[in-house]
Amino acid sequence: MSDLPDYFFRTRENGAAVFRIDAENRHRRLEMEQIAVANIRNGEIKPQGDRVLSPEDLSAIRGWMAERQAVLARRDIDDILRTVDHLNQTAHWAQSKASDDELDQVTDALLLAMHDLRSVLVRRKADRS
């Protein structure tokens, strides 16, 4: 079990519960002890109970937080690019496959969502210029 990392991060919506892994104990069992909670939204690292985190603990947690933020940012962009694909597929569907009844079910919602998105994008583009 020596290939295991020193820490395990149980992800949750805004960060993770941080565990120290101990595979070298006298019982030769894998043990995980929660040492902290990390919040990637506000950067807080809260030690578990009365624990004092070592510089190594803090360094590992901060490193994980930076990597997690990068992963989530990449996922956001990937989700947006998938949305572009879905919009293109939706246009093809509306033009070539959709019945009148199906179009009646989705047209207003799509038009409002697209108008809202267009307004936001145009405003943000103008702000950058």
Beta strands at 45-47 and 31-39: parallel, antiparallel or unpaired: antiparallel
pLDDT band of residue 1 (cuts 50, 70, 90) is: very low
Q: pLDDT band at 2, cuts 50/70/90? A: low
pLDDT digits (tens, 9 = 90+) for 116-126: 999 999 999 99
Q: Is 10 helix (H, G, I), strand (E, B) or coil?
A: strand
Q: Please name the amino acid found at residue 67.
A: E
Per the DSSP assignment, residues forming a β-bridge with 15 are 12, 39
pTM of this prediction exceeds 0.85: no
Token pair of 68 as six digits: 């997690």
Helix (H, G, I), strand (E, B) or coil at 39: strand
Name 40's Cβ contacts closer than 8 Å, sequence gap at least 6.
14, 15, 16, 65, 68, 69, 72
